[in-house]
């Protein structure tokens, strides 16, 4: 199931009743405004009972109406300029009563972790858009006048409001500062027309009566800000920050592995290795006896990922070196057969990975990692300054690498 991906850079505004759509004249960078006919959008938002997606600043919805009707997943911005939106068109016969398409579910499975996704809110929006063009005729932004009726399905409350949105389009200025300046100029126009920047993080938050829903929540366990850490910071805080980054990398790789994207297995395998290494490196700070079960599970996951990654590399290298670059000595039918055999072996190895990612064992590991980052089992040395603790840990790691390098060099010498 093919999906689209775009970065959503937008600003929202609250509008009192009776305020008309502005004329968009006199805005630097905007030469023409082209209005469209109103459309009605009906969206149903889904989440777990404990708001696993909202807590991570994610949105899952199914929407009818408009040019992009379909399933949408919005990912957190995490410090970026905008948030990524993934979209899948509605399949034939998808009337909203069936299951979530597997390709869509794969994008949120690592966060949902087996819990049921049920309707959270229903939004009906009557939208009138105006496309804003620059002097060269390029569509640089879209203004939307939205009259929204939001139903909190679980709470039974219905709310209605009027808001405006301004979203940049692909032909917006290439540089970030220029994009921000364009939005600032449009915003001044919005404010002069009677609007004000919205207090709500999203339409979903407003429908639920929780204006800050997911706005301030961390995308995962709370963790120290790495930019504030120094060599005088407690060693435990540095270790937590390193572990949190590793968990984020593992979670981020998960949907890409499920979608069988190129190099995704490698990225997840690297994340697993780094987590294991971090737990070993910081054993003076985080109790190694308490983390032994987690390290064992990471090792098991790494083994499954390693099987798929090794077969992926073997397949690609053989195809590149033999099939594509030795066409004179390798007949086409032999090359094709070799490719098919290796591809089938990779497919079986990848199926083992997908089964592992769908297992209760893997979901339990994710929960254990979250708990480990949030509340690690610390040793008596955890409050010591990070500088000396890291120096000692790095020295141990360097000595271990040196010993292994010596063994490898000796093996090479014997083979020669």
Does residue 336 lie in a domain region? Answer: yes
- Give the pLDDT score at 316: 84
| Shared-domain flag, residues 43 and 143 | yes
Specify the CATH number for the domain of residue 8: 2.40.320.10
What is the Cα–Cα distance from 159 to 163, expressed in whole angstroms?
Answer: 13
Interval 202-223 mean pLDDT: 69
Q: Which residues pair with 146 in a beta bridge?
A: 127, 163
| Shared-domain flag, residues 380 and 277 | yes
| Shared-domain flag, residues 169 and 263 | no
- Give the pLDDT score at 279: 95
Phi-psi region of 265 (alpha: psi -120 to 50; beta: other; left: phi over 0): alpha
Specify the CATH number for the domain of residue 352: 1.40.20.10
pLDDT band at 336 (very low <50, low <70, confident <90, very high): confident
Of 149 and 212, the one with more pLDDT? 149
pLDDT band at 387 (very low <50, low <70, confident <90, very high): confident
Interval 68-85 mean pLDDT: 87
| Shared-domain flag, residues 371 and 404 | yes
pLDDT band at 207 (very low <50, low <70, confident <90, very high): very high
Total of domains in the chain: 2
| Shared-domain flag, residues 186 and 308 | no
Whole-model pTM?
0.84
Q: Which of 147, 180, 196, 143 is nearest to 165 (CA)?
A: 143
Asked if residue 415 has pLDDT above 90, the reply is: no
Tokens for 107?
């994008």
| Shared-domain flag, residues 245 and 101 | no
Residue 53 belongs to what domain range? Answer: 4-207
> Which of 158, 174, 207 finishes a domain?
207
Asked if residue 216 has pLDDT above 50, the reply is: no
Does residue 218 lie in a domain region? Answer: no
Q: Do residues 49 and 120 touch, judged by C-beta distance below 8 A?
A: no
| Shared-domain flag, residues 202 and 241 | no
| Shared-domain flag, residues 232 and 176 | no
Asked if residue 102 has pLDDT above 50, the reply is: yes
68-77 b/e (C-beta count within 10 Å ≥ 16 → b): ebbbbbbbbe
Does residue 303 lie in a domain region? Answer: yes
Does residue 215 lie in a domain region? Answer: no
Asked if residue 353 has pLDDT above 50, the reply is: yes
Query: What does pLDDT average to over the chain?
Result: 90
| Shared-domain flag, residues 253 and 398 | yes
> Which of 161, 177, 207 finishes a domain?
207
Does residue 194 lie in a domain region? Answer: yes
| Shared-domain flag, residues 280 and 174 | no
| Shared-domain flag, residues 77 and 26 | yes
Does residue 220 lie in a domain region? Answer: no
List of residues 6+ apart from 285 with CB closer than 8 A: 235, 236, 239, 378, 379, 381, 382, 389
* pLDDT single digits (tens) 130-183: 999 999 999 999 999 999 999 999 999 999 999 999 999 999 999 999 999 999
What is the Cα–Cα distance from 405 to 60, expressed in whole angstroms?
Answer: 48
- Judge residue 399's burial from the number of C-beta atoms within 10 Å of its C-beta, 0-12 exposed, 13-18 middle, 19 or more buried: exposed
Residue 101 parent element (H or E):
none
- Give the pLDDT score at 362: 98
Residue 26 parent element (H or E):
none
Asked if residue 346 has pLDDT above 60, the reply is: yes
> Which of 144, 179, 207 finishes a domain?
207
Using alpha carbons only, give the angle 312, 252, 239 rounded to the nearest 5 degrees: 110
What is the Cα–Cα distance from 220 to 205, expressed in whole angstroms?
Answer: 19
For the chain, what percent of residues have pLDDT higher than 70?
Answer: 93
Asked if residue 213 has pLDDT above 80, the reply is: no
Instruction: Say which range, 96-100, 156-160, 195-199, has the weakest mean pLDDT.
Output: 96-100
| Shared-domain flag, residues 183 and 45 | yes
Asked if residue 324 has pLDDT above 80, the reply is: no
Asked if residue 378 has pLDDT above 60, the reply is: yes
pLDDT band at 78 (very low <50, low <70, confident <90, very high): low
Q: Do residues 375 and 291 touch, judged by C-beta distance below 8 A?
A: no
Q: Do residues 334 and 318 touch, judged by C-beta distance below 8 A?
A: no
What is the Cα–Cα distance from 146 to 329, expressed in whole angstroms?
Answer: 65
Does residue 311 lie in a domain region? Answer: yes
Does residue 216 lie in a domain region? Answer: no
- Give the pLDDT score at 98: 78
């Amino acid at each position: 199931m093919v999906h689209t991906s775009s970065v959503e850079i937008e600003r929202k505004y609250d509008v009192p009743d009776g305020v008309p759509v502005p004329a968009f004249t006199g805005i630097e960078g905007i030469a023409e405004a082209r209005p469209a006919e109103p459309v009605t959008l009906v969206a149903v938002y889904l989440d777990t009972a404990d708001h696993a997606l909202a807590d991570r600043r994610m949105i899952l919805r199914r929407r009818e109406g408009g040019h992009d009707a379909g399933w949408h997943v919005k990912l957190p911005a995490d410090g970026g300029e905008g948030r990524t939106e993934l979209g899948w068109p509605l399949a034939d016969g998808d009337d909203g009563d069936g299951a979530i398409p597997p390709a869509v579910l794969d994008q949120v499975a690592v966060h949902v972790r087996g819990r049921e996704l049920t309707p959270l809110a229903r939004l009906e929006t009557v939208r009138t858009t105006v496309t804003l063009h620059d002097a060269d005729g390029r569509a640089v932004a879209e203004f939307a006048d939205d009259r929204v009726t939001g139903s909190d399905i679980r709470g039974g409350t219905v709310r209605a409001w009027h808001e405006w949105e301004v979203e940049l389009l692909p032909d917006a200025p290439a540089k970030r500062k220029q994009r921000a300046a364009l939005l600032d100029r449009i915003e001044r126009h919005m404010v002069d027309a009677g609007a004000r920047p919205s207090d709500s993080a999203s339409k979903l938050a407003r429908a639920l009566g929780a204006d800050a829903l997911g706005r301030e929540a961390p995308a995962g366990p709370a963790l120290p800000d790495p930019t504030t850490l120094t060599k005088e910071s407690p060693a435990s805080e540095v270790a937590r920050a390193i572990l949190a980054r590793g968990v984020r990398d593992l979670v981020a790789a998960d949907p890409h592995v499920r979608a069988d994207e190129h190099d995704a297995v490698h990225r997840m395998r690297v994340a697993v290795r780094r987590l294991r290494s971090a737990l070993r490196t910081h054993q003076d700070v985080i109790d190694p006896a308490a983390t032994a079960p987690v390290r064992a599970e990471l090792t098991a996951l790494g083994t499954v990922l390693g099987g798929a990654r090794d077969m992926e590399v073997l397949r690609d290298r053989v195809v590149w070196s033999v099939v594509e670059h030795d066409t004179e000595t390798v007949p086409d039918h032999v090359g094709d057969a070799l490719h098919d055999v290796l591809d089938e072996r990779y497919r079986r190895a990848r199926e083992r990975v997908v089964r592992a990612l769908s297992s209760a064992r893997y979901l339990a590991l994710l929960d254990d990692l979250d708990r480990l980052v949030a509340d690690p089992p610390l040793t008596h040395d955890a409050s010591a300054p990070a500088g000396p603790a890291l120096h000692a840990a790095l020295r141990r790691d360097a000595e271990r690498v040196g010993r292994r390098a010596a063994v490898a060099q000796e093996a090479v010498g014997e083979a020669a």
